[in-house]
Structure 1
Amino acid sequence: MSEETGEQRLARNVSELLSELRVAQAGVQILFGFLLSVVFTAQFRSASGFEKGMHLTAVVLAAVATALLTAPAAWHRMLFREGRRHDILRVGNRMVLAGLGCLATAVSIVVALIAKVVYGPVAMGVVGGLVAVTFVVLWFVVPRLLTAR
């Protein structure tokens, strides 16, 4: 079995990054679509200013996550013929991590908002916090623990 060259490894890494983005982008698109549709309901009009603020925060975070998670694909389309795969991979990795952070925060806010509307402010804090901790542990802590081994 022959070893891959540095250029082959770089091409594979960029391909893997773009494939991983497809999974994250689907989640962002579903969340974003849901968040956009909520404002056109009668119940939303009667929401408190705090609830509307939480919703807007989640919308902005979902929009930023969308931008961050689609940027590497756009960069690849614009820069790969110029031999800039290393730059795409290096900066793209940071953008994806930031995008995942925005996505996790947006989902946590949406779940907290739902818990507040249905059960009240205590449930908002508990459920929203548990969801946020779940994302942090599964997406960021566990990989660090696996790396340390």
Structure 2
Amino acid sequence: EEIAASRQERISERENEAKIRILDRTIDYISRWNHPDFSSSRATMKKALLESNKQNSKLATYLDQHPDQAQDVVSVLNFLEELSFLTHEGDLDKEKLATFYRGIFDMVYSEFFQFIQSRREEKNREKLYEHFEKLHQEWQVNGR
């Protein structure tokens, strides 16, 4: 009985350590969005939206004509794809991320959808940004 209790205690400790690691990684991903190193990419996205009057077809054309700005948008999309993949793998806390990122996902997905589609066609990769798209859809359906 004492051995079983000790084993259960060790299991519980490992589960708590795993939860703490997930929480730490989640906080890191939330912090990265607001990190100064990321601010220029976010500013470029805003500028591209303003320059295109928030029209998807104009945005894709605008970004085609400004490859340096397109690269910043790609960096943000890659970051959101990475975050989404890790979330689906259970390495990040989906609920906490939803609280912070849901609005960001909504904006990026709706405003840059045409650009995402053009990237898929250009790269001939239908599944490009699939984890980002899937997590966005989950948050839309579940409201979290």
Normalising by structure 1, report the TM-score: 0.35
TM-score for both structures, normalised by structure 2:
0.36
